Amino acid sequence: MKLLTHNMLTSKCLKGVNVGYPLGIVAKDIKVLETEFNSEFVLRIIPKLDWDTLWNAADSIGHSGDLPRTLCDDYENDVEFLKKAHHVLLEVEVINGELVCPESGRKFAINKGIPNMLLNEDEL
């Protein structure tokens, strides 16, 4: 699971959970894999992000590096910054671990990089 995906995921599926965001991350294995930098994609993704969540998530798994804590105004022209964002969004991957619902504490397993958000029938 990439941190980009984590930025969009919730546990709203759970009965009684209203926001379910942001999910906590318990990372057992992390893989860092180089991927092609596409500034256009990163530029389009940033406005969709919750930056705080991204930074905190990266920090909680020890990969915030020198990613700025807040988004500055003229990031569009800052290629170095875009590359850092690219790295955190797309190159840091949680392979095994858990996602944790912030309201109920319910844990969702991540196996081989794939989060399992399925509920049991009594949790609906």
Residue numbers at the binding site for another protein (CB under 8 A): 1-2, 4-5, 7-10, 12-13, 21, 35-36, 38, 40-41, 44-45, 48, 50, 90, 111-122, 124
DSSP, collapsed to helix, strand or coil, labels residue 93 as strand
Measured from the CB atom, the residue of 76 and 111 that comes closer to another protein is: 111
Q: Which helix (H) or strand (E) holds 32?
A: strand 24-32
Least separation in angstroms between CB 73 and another protein: 21
Quick one: tokens of 54? 């991204």
Cβ–Cβ under 8 Å, residues 2 and 89: yes
Least separation in angstroms between CB 108 and another protein: 9
Of 93, 85, 1, nearest in space to 39 by CA: 85
26 contacts: CB under 8 Å, gap ≥ 6: 97, 98, 99, 100, 107
Measured from the CB atom, the residue of 49 and 67 that comes closer to another protein is: 49
Measured from the CB atom, the residue of 97 and 115 that comes closer to another protein is: 115
Least separation in angstroms between CB 99 and another protein: 10
Measured from the CB atom, the residue of 32 and 124 that comes closer to another protein is: 124
